[in-house]
Amino acid sequence: MRFYDPAGTRYGLPTYSYRLAPDSYATRRQLRARGLRPAGQPIAAQLMWTSRRTRGMRVAYLYRIDLARPVRPMTPGRTAALAAANRARRTCPICGRDAGYVIPTSLGTCVACADTPVAAA
């Protein structure tokens, strides 16, 4: 019970260990799975646990479910803007073709252009 502090005296926010948070709180992902969003409310509590993978302390912020609001629906304009942004991420700046995948930022071009040897000047 190292991280159990529902009053928030030790960590500044009500803090719970993994799987011990009340049902009235949810993370952003849990809200999204229910079709809700935090809607500008402040962080209400936090989950804390130690991670074996990172060998450190991990934190997940919790929001009150009763203050959450429904997710805004996608409008045609937002859908078109999202499609254009994804198309730009797939278009190679050298050959101008749609690569069919998101171009890696480490290469900056599609794999075919990155593998093509550059002619010596």
**What is the enclosing helix (H) or strand (E) of 87?**
helix 76-90
User: Is 8 contained in some domain?
Assistant: no
Instruction: Give every CB contact of residue 97 below 8 A, 6+ residues apart in sequence.
Output: 91, 110
* pLDDT above 70: percentage of residues in the chain: 96
Query: Stretch 24-49: mean pLDDT, rounded?
Result: 95
User: Is 3 contained in some domain?
Assistant: no
64 lies in the same domain as 103: no
Query: Stretch 10-35: mean pLDDT, rounded?
Result: 92
Instruction: Supply the range of the domain harboring residue 109.
Output: 76-115
Question: Could you give the number of structural domains in the chain?
Answer: 2
User: Is 4 contained in some domain?
Assistant: no
- Report the distance separating Cα 12 and Cα 44, nearest Å: 11
Indicate the pLDDT class of residue 6, thresholds 50, 70 and 90: confident
Whether the model clears a pTM of 0.75, i.e. scores above it, the answer is no
22 lies in the same domain as 65: yes
Phi, psi torsion values for 37, nearest 5 degrees: -135, 155
24 lies in the same domain as 66: yes
pLDDT in the model for residue 31: 97
* pLDDT above 90: percentage of residues in the chain: 67
pLDDT digits (tens, 9 = 90+) for 57-108: 889 999 999 999 999 999 999 999 999 999 999 999 999 999 999 999 999 9
**What is the enclosing helix (H) or strand (E) of 51?**
strand 45-51
